Amino acid sequence: MSEFHALRRDGTPWQPMFIEAINAETCIGCGRCFKVCTHGVLEMMGMTEDDELVAADDDEVERMVMTIAEKGRCVGCEACVQVCGSKSIALIAAADVLAA
């Protein structure tokens, strides 16, 4: 891991953790992560009975799942993980992303 870190307003170091993946098998489509993410990263989609992702308003939707629409817009705040009761969101250290 590199030595990358961000700074809080008081100057102390802070390690951003970017969103990396959402487990579509455990996500219950509750939308809580979407509500707390203010950076336009996430998008609710539909899942068919054949496990195909489709638009949320598609006639074939069997259940809803959260997806990552704009991974590059993530600021690494971790708010989505904090509200996910099913622990479906995986993070990666910003240092590891920027070092890759």
Q: Which residues contact ligand SF4 by CB under 6 A? A: 19, 22, 27-33, 36-37, 39, 41-42, 66, 74-80, 83-84, 86, 88-89
Strands (E), 6-99: 6-7, 13-14, 17-22, 42-47, 53-54, 63-68, 89-93
Tokens 């992702």 locate to 53
CA distance 95 to 5: 7
In whole angstroms, the minimum distance from the beta carbon of 3 to ligand SF4 comes to 21
- Looking at the Cβ atoms of 61 and 80, the one nearer to ligand SF4 is 80
In whole angstroms, the minimum distance from the beta carbon of 29 to ligand SF4 comes to 5
- Looking at the Cβ atoms of 48 and 92, the one nearer to ligand SF4 is 92
- Looking at the Cβ atoms of 89 and 97, the one nearer to ligand SF4 is 89
SS3 36: helix
